[in-house]
Amino acid sequence: MFRLALARVSKPRAILRGHANYLTALAFHPDGKILASASHDRTIKLWDMATGEVRLTLEGLDAGLTTLAFTPDGNLLISCDQNGGVKLWRSNR
């Protein structure tokens, strides 16, 4: 579980639940509508920021994830794991 809050707001804007282990990385899509979260549970979740719902879960990764980033055009999501593996995921918004 993690909380997303705006700096000037005292209450969380959303509480996003779904990972089975602690989070290791977050990345916003360039349009701000999707948040990617990586976890030590070896999954990536793509969250719809308008609804707070999971749009997609990527599973079956080889190791815990350490880094996430979208390319500037938003067409690819890049993930890096603790074993040095790098994967490129096509973003099919």
CATH code, 30: 2.40.10
The residue type of 17 is R
Whether 8 is covered by a domain: the verdict is: no
86 in any annotated domain: yes
Sheet holding 76-81, edge to edge: 65-70, 76-81, 86-90
**Using one digit for the tens of pLDDT, what is the confidence trace for 4-62?**
555 565 676 677 777 767 788 999 999 999 999 988 888 899 999 898 899 999 887 78
The pLDDT assigned to 66 comes to: 86
Is residue 35 in some structural domain? yes
Residue 62 lies in a domain: yes
- How far is 77 from 23, CA to CA, in rounded Å? 17
Q: How many domains does the chain have?
A: 1
Which pLDDT value is given to residue 8?
A: 65
**What are the pLDDT digits (tens) for 26-40?**
999 999 999 999 888
pLDDT at 10: 66
Residue 56: domain span: 21-90
For the cut 90, the answer to whether the pLDDT of residue 70 exceeds it is: yes
